[in-house]
Amino acid sequence: MRGFSFFSVLSGFLLFSVSVFPQVQGVLSKKWYGNWSAGIGAGPDIFFGDLKVHKYWPANTNMNEWRYAGSFYLIRQLSHVFSLRGQVLYGELSGTKREFQDGAPCNQYFDGTILEYNLNGTINFSNLLFRYKPKRIFFIYGTVGAGLSNWITKKKDLITHQEIGSSGSLKNWTTEVVIPAGAGAYFNINDKVNLGVEWTLRGVYSDKLDATVGGFPYDMYSFLSVNLVYNFNRRNPVKLDAVESTMSPVILPKSKDLIQGPQKTPVQETGATVKPASGQLQELPAEQLKLPPPPVLKDTTRKTPAITGPAPVKSATPRSEGPVVYKVQIFSSSTGQRSAESIMTYFKLSQPVTKEFSEGYYRYYTGEFETEAEANQFADALRTKAGLKGAFVVKYINGKRELTHPK
């Protein structure tokens, strides 16, 4: 009862602490069954307690202290930093002691079977300490939790192998609170599978794990595992379903809901998301998109591609000969799931929309101008006529975006 009460209080605190500090960059799935994963792991588990030859490493002569265990995980991703895991671990333990501290012979060892189940939280240090990047594929994390460890151990004589003590039985396992804590790393193989390694030290609230009461008030065992995790109904941080914007709140319908025009104008594949002033996505009347043409550009040495519509603009491809150009940004996202062509079609724009990736964001532009005044005039027309309230002008120097602008 003491162990169960302690486990309940600590688990409740863990659940509360993990849930109140999420740091989300990009929205994870809002569905109940989203963001779940399941994993398996296996590796050596080493005992630390009274019956042990060496203090830190296992003996492998006379009586081999190397034992192995397997585990199963069920994981719920709370954010890109925190997750909650339930774990079941099953394996064996062993320890040996040949001499007491005064040099007298001991010649005892134990063999044990453990069954552990715990609830633990993980903290992704890669996303917590460094800027979140959708394309990061290697992560380092820490874990801490609480659970119950059940065991059956038999202490025997090292010479005769006769049983001289025990803790627990098949009908009545010994049960105590266990506190696992450790660290690990994992690699995203693809959208569904992660491969990782984890080491944890698990302290038991008992001195009876080796069926010997002695100098160690609390017995412990470590578990080093190689883990394989499968992700259900969600994508890894490499490719997120989330959409981020630095302009007014923006939401895009799914691709099947986009309004397809009778013709598509080829654009560079790199597209966007915006919301009209009313806050609801709707088909805009064609007459609202008749934008006034920008001033005539002075650069007569470059040929402007033919663009149908009332607002011809220059190609959005960065120029090498012009040191300074101005573009109109209409949207930014951490995932870039929407194509430039789909956005152009939805808002019935006649000018090309382009998508560029830099500094961890996909940015969507339309137009390119030699002066800021020309770009501002065009951005004003987009805001008032097309409902693109978040459109703003970005300055490029030698083909590079000026960092003073918003994301």
Task: Tell me the domains of the chain and their CATH numbers.
Answer: 2-232 (2.40.160.20), 255-401 (3.30.70.1070)
Asked if residues 158 and 109 have their Cβ atoms less than 8 Å apart, the reply is yes
Q: What angle do CA 86, 88, 93 make, to 5 degrees?
A: 140
In Å, what is the CA distance from 161 to each residue of 59, 99, 164, 212?
Answer: 18, 17, 9, 16
Quote the pLDDT of residue 45. Answer: 94
In Å, what is the CA distance from 257 to each residue of 31, 163, 243, 281, 345?
Answer: 20, 73, 17, 10, 12
Quote the pLDDT of residue 303. Answer: 43
* DSSP string of 118-173, one letter each residue: EEEEEEEHHHHHS---TT--EEEEEEEEEEEEEEEEEEEETTT--EEEEE--SSS-
- Within a 10 A sphere around the Cβ of 406, how many other Cβ atoms? 10
Q: Find, among 71, 73, 84, the residue nearest to 41 by Cα.
A: 71
State both tokens at 323. 């040191």
- Provide the residue type at 359 as one letter: E
State both tokens at 21. 């500090």
Q: What are the residues whose beta carbons fall under 8 Å from the beta carbon of 61, sequence distance 6 or more? A: none
- Within a 10 A sphere around the Cβ of 65, how many other Cβ atoms? 22
- Which three-class secondary structure state does DSSP give residue 77? strand
d(CA 396, CA 402): 6
- Within a 10 A sphere around the Cβ of 310, how many other Cβ atoms? 11
Q: What angle do CA 73, 92, 6 make, to 5 degrees?
A: 60
Quote the pLDDT of residue 131. Answer: 77
Q: Find, among 217, 344, 204, the residue nearest to 274 by Cα.
A: 344
Asked if residues 225 and 197 have their Cβ atoms less than 8 Å apart, the reply is yes
State both tokens at 47. 């005992």
Quote the pLDDT of residue 307. Answer: 35
Per-residue pLDDT of the chain (407 residues; tens, 9 = 90+): 444 444 444 444 443 333 333 333 344 666 666 788 999 999 999 999 999 888 888 888 767 899 999 999 999 988 889 999 999 999 999 999 988 888 889 899 999 999 999 999 999 999 899 877 777 889 999 999 999 999 999 999 998 999 999 999 999 999 999 999 999 999 988 878 999 999 999 999 999 999 998 777 899 999 999 999 998 864 433 333 333 333 333 333 333 333 334 444 444 444 444 444 444 444 444 444 445 554 444 444 444 343 333 444 444 444 444 578 888 888 777 777 778 887 777 666 778 888 888 777 788 888 888 898 988 988 888 888 777 777 889 888 887 887 654 55
Q: Find, among 57, 62, 54, 53, the residue nearest to 96 by Cα.
A: 53
User: Locate tokens 């005892």: which residue?
Assistant: 108
H runs (alpha helix) in 20-149: 125-129
- Provide the residue type at 197 as one letter: V
- CA 133, distance to chain mean position in Å, is 10
d(CA 145, CA 405): 43
Asked if residues 270 and 362 have their Cβ atoms less than 8 Å apart, the reply is yes
d(CA 284, CA 276): 9
Asked if residues 98 and 158 have their Cβ atoms less than 8 Å apart, the reply is yes
d(CA 317, CA 342): 19
Sign of CA dihedral 330, 335, 336, 342: negative
Residue 265: strand pairing partners: none
Burial 365-385 (b: 16+ CB within 10 A, else e): bbbbbbeeebbbbbbebbbeb
Q: What are the residues whose beta carbons fall under 8 Å from the beta carbon of 267, sequence distance 6 or more? A: 340, 341, 344, 352, 353, 354
